[in-house]
Chain A
Amino acid sequence: MHVIRGIRGTFQPFWVTLRNMFRKPVTIQYPEEKQQLPERYRARLILTRDPDGAERCVACHLCSAACPVDCISMQATEAEDGRRYAAWFRINFTRCIFCGLCTEACPTLAIQVTADFELAGRDLLKLVYEKEDLLVDHCGNNNSYNFYRQSGIGVAAPRGTNPGETPPADVKDLMP
């Protein structure tokens, strides 16, 4: 029994390799053929806009704090109407590891991942993306969320008038 198994074990692999030789390889020939990527593939980051067309990012620095490789930096400023935004916003894609932690941290859904992974290049500085390169003209994967209309801050609309909000209580009414 031992011997038979040994002999079988010696010759079977030859049959397996021979058979494989006449099968179609499973290789995807990359530049010509492309892989079907999963819908939630994590690659290049973008900064999205809210449904009203304004920038979502409020320059809260949460993404740069969450980033394990510290590749996000920005400068926060405030507009006339009290709206916070990033004066400049920079992601160094030579360091980014596409972990997606920044998107998890973002309270406004501003920073989001896309499936575009073809970032390779010879000039490293070209991989440092500025705000112009990051900012897109759509809402990304959420078409309805608008931070300023949820949080009770009277910037996009006066306080209490946003959907699902009750008007602020009149403190004088609450007297016993």
Chain B
Amino acid sequence: MSDMLVTLALILGKLLFIFGVVLFMAAYLVLAERKILGRMQLRYGPNRVGPFGLMQPLADVIKLLTKEDFVPARADKWLFLIAPGITAVTALLVFAVIPFGSPLEIFGRQVPLVVVDLNIGVLYFLGVSSMAVYGVVLGGWASNSKYSLLGGVRGLSQMVSYELSLGLSLVPVIMMARSFSLTDIVMAQQSIPFVLLNPVAFGVFFICVLAESNRIPFDLPEAENELVGGFHTEYSGMRFGLFFVGEYINMVVLGSLVTVFFLGGWNGPWLPPLLWFLFKVLAVCAMFIWIRASMPRLRYDQLMNLGWKILLPLSLVNILVTGAVLLGLG
């Protein structure tokens, strides 16, 4: 009985920890992104609220919370109201299977630093992450605005084309690790991370992750220049904020996944595993930001061409080659 209580308490503790850390990181990623983008464009970025603008996320939240929560007259009310939640929640859900540190020794028992170590963690991630598009599509559809609708449709078709390559680029990883569990995948990279063993899979996965996060160069669902705000054109206040936070939570989550699948997870010399993990995730996020500062948005046909004519065949060939090599090595 008490054993179960302790397990429950540990799970709760881990949940709270993840929740806090991920939200904190999402909030400060926004700030970091604005600052880094600013510097890359020879500006300072936000630097007025608090020292170095460090209180900016708080100011943003207060602003968003006090704004009017507006629902357009002909909108599909309920869908419109829950869509932002779907985006944020699905992004958070993925974090359940991500191992963010090597198992700890607490109260004389092994505590894996992951909420649930599912033996089909990869499938869970693929399933849940494709649910995230419902937020975009439903939000776009429920707004009853042409811009939102176009954004939603774009989001959907983009997700369909890239989800395929995303899944396929993970097959070599699974073949190399011989497991669907994310913890085992990290364990398999103890000596050498998969990014060095299979750079092609890493490349395809990284591009698909970019597309998955709806960020430049794949931010067609938003496309400020053509679609005003894309799927969130009609949103205001904290509901817009949820979409926004969802995007950054997604960034953290996808950064963690890149870390887990290819960068060796928490493995690393000298530093504690947790720090290594954090460091790698932040590095991936910094890469996202850098890409955003440097690349233009793809045109729609380019996006589709890249997805179907390059990434998909590439990942298929990669699976064959990886399989052949693994077979050859025995």
Contact = CB atoms under 8 A, between A and B. Distances in A.
Interface stretch (B125-133, B189-197, B288-296): B288-296
Interface in A3-19: 10, 13-14, 16-18
A17 B41 CA distance: 7
B43 A25 contact: yes
6 contacts: A14-B290, A18-B40, A18-B290, A24-B42, A25-B44, A27-B43
Interface residues of A, number: 14
A138 B294 CA distance: 54
Contacts of A10: 295
A21 interface: yes
Nearest to B295: A13
A26 interface: yes
B98 to A, nearest CB: 28
Nearest to A12: B294
B294 A13 contact: yes
Contacts of A24: 42
Contacts of A23: 42
B211 to A, nearest CB: 16
B42 A17 contact: no
B36 interface: yes
B282 to A, nearest CB: 16
Given A14-B290, A14-B294, A21 B43 contact: no
Interface in A46-74: none
Contacts of A36: none
B38 A25 contact: yes
Interface in B50-75: none
B42 A25 contact: yes
